């Protein structure tokens, strides 16, 4: 099916199942421990061994030699596989860094060997016996230094954009701001580690893994192994968090495949937490410069956003300027990105890549501008709203209600009680409130599904879509139930298997809208098959309450499959609506903080998110996504930072003891409001996404609240107490 014109009334609009608060259909499995994650897969007939990876101890150079004799003779060891043994291999399409093979070390903790043993403890002990001689080379690890020689990325990354004459507009503006902001390297820090089990059956490979994108992984693994993609069966039914860190093939899957081949049995490989931080991808640090010029009345006349980030050779920039191209009006505009070569682990997608770090800077700058012109920060954002793409004014937004989010949020949060900076105090706590806009584009990716009507009248959905804790199982069941006139209890959902039709996968906030659209397309095919089998005119048929009816005739849905099951399979393809209309999601974040007047410790007291993201398919799972994103934003604002050793080139705090994420004690009352809206331009579901929108703007709202509490403006994340304490009031 091709979606190339706005959605009209369709079966989803019935809203008997879709849009209703529905508890996760996989919830009982997860809370009881019966949901089997990658490393836990077990078949009694299989023999399992354990692989432990060895990570490079340098950040750039060559492996001169490896001595694995002691490791091979250690108790329980079944095989040792090294980069030198494997030799150079072709790199997959979606990887920047090589995952394994050859003699070159591209970054610290790059996997260079795997020890396979009968037990995990034996494998870990033997891995420590591998002796490596390196030829170390000088590397670049400091973004501040790297920005001096940073270059314009390829035009494929759209590094520069503009409209009007920024220099002229900025020089003529009545009020201006010109400031630099920094965001640090960050880790996904998912609860489930990167883990895989590999098993060879002849020339066929089975991989149980933790992957957000089944088809991407299978294709890149086939490239690395130089084998037919169809001979790889990849399974990832449950995933304990990804946040973008499991979008692309990782070393654990490669090592599990190589280890299983060497050991002749199923091999389990889980990356230790330090290797997750330094071996897998991370969100790159940025240095951002923002310039805004307005009239005395606060209308933006000129806005520029420049960003510098770093990556390995062949990498891509952190697209931190993207939201600035679309979020606020202003005739004269300029954005630019530059990329430095750094020999750190691969920088790549992390929840809301681009917008999350970009808005950490932009939404502080907007607050600073509002203060400079003497306008309330909420009102400043409202008067600079736009209903068209500012760089391409002929292109309207498909649906945009940022103003509605800001006004409703201000009313519900009690924004009018805010007060001037450093004027509110409760005991030892300085109190402040802050706001930031939320923005994330609506991306469209083809997505397929297969839907079966079984002889007993149940419907089974099969798609390689994944569930990374987001509720994919449930919204897919709701979609099929709505389309086929059933309850969610009558639908079985099977996900995360490469034998199923290729879906959008989980990433970029496109998973929910695109995967359910693919299920919608497959259900349209199944409805046609059911109508034909039962002798109905498919244009008039209604599927409702387990029955199919047209006019006065009503037949049980199950009768259509009495002779044999019926199958509908299709892929949702996308037309040009996303080109003729700018499709984005919007929101507003409001935060109240307390800052200890003696220590500078910050505590978030309450949070509110108001989201405008098309039809909300399931308010329960959508709310969970937003509060999870808000929690992630607290970490990004106050604690999360991968500290770089700029001499040796690695992330020093590479575990969850040193890399501090927000925990329950850090999170106060959180409220989420969804505006009641649909977007017919987005898909037949008229939905968009919320999982990344809920993060975008949160750190800036916290930083703005801290300024309102203390009068201290911090432009360098995270906003830790050492950056505040010097500006706090004098105390005895």
Q: Residue 459: beta bridge partners?
A: 453, 491
377 within 8 A of 367, measured Cβ to Cβ: yes
Say how many CA atoms lie within 13 Å of 185 toward its Cβ: 30
Cβ-contact 117, 81 below 8 angstroms? no
Count of Cβ atoms closer than 10 Å to residue 203 Cβ: 8
Q: Quick one: tokens of 625?
A: 């996504």
Q: How far is CA 51 from the centre of its chain?
A: 28
Q: If you ran DSSP here, which 8-state letter would residue 32 be given?
A: T
Distance in angstroms (rounded) separating the CA atoms of residues 280 and 210: 13
3 state DSSP class of 104: strand
Catalytic member of 192, 306, 318, 692: 692
In a 10 Å sphere around its CB, with 0-12 CB exposed, 13-18 middle and 19+ buried, how is residue 626 labelled? Answer: buried
Q: Decide if 134 contacts 62 (C-beta within 8 A).
A: yes
**b/e per residue, 36-45, with b = 16+ CB within 10 A?**
ebbbebeeee
Q: Which residues contact 358 (CB under 8 A, 6 or more apart)?
A: 286, 288, 305, 307, 319, 320, 321, 322, 323, 324
Closest residue by Cα to residue 498 from 94, 198, 215: 215
CB of 267 closer than 8 Å to CB of 48: yes
Task: Let me know: does 451 contact 461? Beta carbons within 8 Å.
Answer: yes
As to burial, measured by CB atoms within 10 angstroms (0-12 exposed, 13-18 middle, 19+ buried), residue 456 is exposed
Which 8-state DSSP code applies to residue 680? T
Q: Is 692 a catalytic residue?
A: yes
Distance between CA atoms of 210 and 35, rounded to whole angstroms? 13
CA dist., res. 532 & res. 189, Å (int): 51
> Buried b / exposed e across 699-708, counting CB within 10 Å, b at 16+?
bbbbbbbbbb
Give 348's contacts (C-beta < 8 A, 6+ positions apart).
96, 244, 247, 248, 281, 282, 311, 315, 316
Q: What is the DSSP string of 436-467?
A: EEEEEE-----EEEEEEE-TTS-EEEE-----
**Total residue length of the chain:** 732
User: 3-state DSSP call for residue 173?
Assistant: coil
Residue 116's nearest CA partner among 51, 65, 55, 171 is 51
User: Which residues have CB under 8 Å from 248's CB, separation 6+?
Assistant: 92, 94, 95, 213, 216, 217, 220, 281, 348
Helix ranges restricted to H, 264-376: 273-279, 355-373
**How many CB atoms are closer than 10 A to CB 601?**
16
CA distance 327 to 54: 45
Place of tokens 């399974």: 235
Exposure of 273 by Cβ count < 10 A (0-12 exposed, 13-18 middle, 19+ buried)? middle
How far, CA to CA in Å, does 580 sit from each of 53, 388, 440, 633? 49, 11, 18, 32
CA distance 304 to 325: 9
The set of catalytic residues is 692
């Amino acid at each position: 099916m091709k979606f190339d014109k706005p959605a009209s009334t369709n079966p989803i609009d019935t809203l008997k199942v879709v849009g209703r608060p529905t508890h996760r259909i996989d919830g009982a499995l997860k809370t009881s421990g019966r949901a089997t994650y990658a490393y836990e897969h077990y078949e009694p007939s299989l023999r399992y061994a354990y692989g432990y990876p060895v990570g490079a101890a340098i950040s750039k150079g060559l492996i001169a030699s490896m001595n694995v004799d002691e490791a091979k003779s250690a108790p329980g060891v079944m095989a040792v596989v090294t980069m030198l043994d494997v030799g150079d291999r072709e790199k997959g399409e979606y990887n920047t860094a090589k995952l394994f093979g050859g003699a070159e070390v591209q970054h610290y903790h790059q996997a260079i060997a795997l020890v396979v043993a009968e037990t995990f403890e034996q494998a870990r002990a033997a891995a420590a016996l591998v002796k490596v001689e390196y030829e170390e080379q000088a590397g670049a690890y400091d973004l501040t230094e790297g920005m001096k020689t940073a270059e314009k990325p390829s035009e494929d990354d759209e590094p520069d954009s503009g409209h009007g004459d920024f220099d002229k507009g900025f020089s003529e503006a009545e009020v201006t701001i010109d400031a630099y902001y920094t965001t640090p390297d960050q880790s996904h820090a998912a609860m489930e580690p990167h883990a895989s089990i590999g098993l060879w059956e002849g020339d066929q490979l089975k991989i149980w893994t933790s992957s957000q994108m089944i088809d991407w992984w299978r294709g890149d693994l086939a490239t690395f192994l130089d084998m037919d993609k169809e001979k790889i069966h990849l399974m990832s039914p449950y995933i304990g968090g990804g946040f973008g860190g499991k979008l692309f093939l990782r070393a654990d899957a490669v090592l599990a495949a190589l280890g299983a081949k060497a050991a002749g049995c199923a091999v389990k490989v889980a990356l230790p937490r330090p290797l997750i931080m330094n071996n897998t991808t991370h969100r790159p640090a940025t240095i951002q410069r923002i310039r805004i010029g307005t009239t005395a009345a606060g209308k933006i006349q000129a806005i520029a956003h420049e960003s510098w980030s770093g990556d390995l050779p062949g990498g891509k920039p952190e697209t931190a300027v993207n939201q600035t191209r679309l979020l606020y009006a202003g005739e004269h505009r300029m954005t630019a990105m530059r990329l430095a070569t750094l020999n750190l682990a691969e920088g790549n997608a992390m929840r809301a890549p681009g917008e999350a770090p970009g808005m950490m800077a932009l939404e502080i700058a907007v607050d600073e501008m509002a203060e400079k012109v003497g306008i309330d920060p909420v009102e400043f954002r409202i008067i600079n709203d736009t209903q068209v793409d500012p760089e391409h004014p002929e292109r309207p937004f498909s649906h945009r209600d940022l103003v509605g989010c800001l006004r409703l949020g201000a009313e519900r949060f009690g924004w009018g009680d805010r007060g001037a900076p450093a004027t509110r105090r409760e005991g030892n706590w300085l109190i402040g409130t802050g706001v930031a806009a939320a923005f994330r584009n609506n991306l469209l990716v083809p997505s397929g599904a297969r839907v079966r009507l079984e002889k007993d009248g149940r419907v089974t959905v099969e798609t390689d879509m994944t569930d990374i804790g987001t509720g994919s199982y449930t919204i897919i069941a709701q979609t099929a139930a709505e389309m086929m006139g059933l309850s969610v209890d009558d639908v079985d959902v099977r996900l995360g298997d490469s034998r199923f039709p290729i879906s959008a996968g989980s990433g970029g906030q496109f998973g929910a809208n695109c995967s359910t659209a693919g299920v919608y397309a497959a259900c349209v095919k199944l409805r046609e098959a059911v109508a034909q089998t039962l002798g109905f005119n498919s244009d008039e048929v209604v599927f409702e309450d387990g029955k199919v009816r047209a006019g006065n005739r009503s037949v049980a849905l199950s009768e259509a499959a009495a002779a044999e099951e019926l199958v509908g399979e299709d892929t949702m393809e996308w037309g040009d609506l996303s080109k003729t209309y700018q499709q984005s999601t919007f929101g507003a974040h409001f935060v109240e903080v307390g800052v200890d007047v003696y220590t500078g410790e910050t505590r978030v007291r309450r949070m509110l998110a108001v989201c405008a993201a098309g039809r909300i398919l399931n308010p329960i799972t959508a709310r969970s996504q937003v509060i999870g994103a808000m929690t992630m934003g607290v970490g990004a604002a106050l604690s999360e930072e991968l500290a770089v050793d700029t001499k040796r080139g690695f992330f020093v705090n590479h575990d969850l003891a040193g890399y501090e994420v927000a925990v329950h004690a850090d999170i106060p009352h959180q409220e989420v409001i969804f505006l009641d809206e649909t977007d017919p331009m987005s898909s037949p579901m008229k939905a968009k996404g919320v999982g990344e929108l809920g993060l975008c703007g949160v750190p800036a709202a916290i930083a703005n609240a801290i300024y309102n509490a203390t009068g201290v403006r911090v432009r360098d994340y995270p906003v830790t107490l050492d950056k505040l304490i010097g500006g706090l009031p004098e105390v005895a």
